[in-house]
Amino acid sequence: MASHARPKPRRVPRGLLRAGLAVSAAGAALAAGGAAAHAAPVPAPASAPGPVSTLTGPLVQAVASGVGPVKSLQLDPLANSAADPLNNAVGTRVADFKPVSTTLLTGALSNGGGLKDLPLVGQVVGLLPG
């Protein structure tokens, strides 16, 4: 088709784009302000004998109770089933080197493991409370 016969794409007027952006920004600001207005103020301790440890505060305890179960949550819903796509492994061996396989990465997931069972990620998750 010749270039002069092609249909021309419709362009949105620049003013309309700017108005949409302004409305979106205003909505985001209102949502952020509303969330901040509904946040409960943190009461200051009346008389603390010494510095309060941040590792034993109520916020850390709440995070610890919420993060603990997530560490061992099964990530692959098809784990230990015949339809699990992560159950397939690919491996190779070149000359006298150690064989390399994908089971190191996908084995923990296809066996029904959670975040704590993944290589490298499991060590980082171990630092989280809970």
What proportions of the chain, in percent to the nearest 5, are helix, strand and coil?
45, 5, 50
pLDDT of residue 61: 65
Lowest average pLDDT, out of 14-18, 60-64, 93-97, goes to 60-64
pLDDT of residue 33: 62
What is the residue-wise DSSP string for 44-94?
PPS--SSPPPTTSSHHHHHHHHHHHHHHT----TTTTSTT-GGG---EE--
pTM of the prediction? 0.40
pLDDT of residue 110: 83
- pLDDT beyond 80 at 28: no
Q: What is the pLDDT of residues 41-80, one digit of tens each?
A: 556 555 555 555 555 566 666 666 666 777 778 888 888 8
pLDDT of residue 59: 62
pLDDT of residue 125: 79
- pLDDT beyond 60 at 38: no
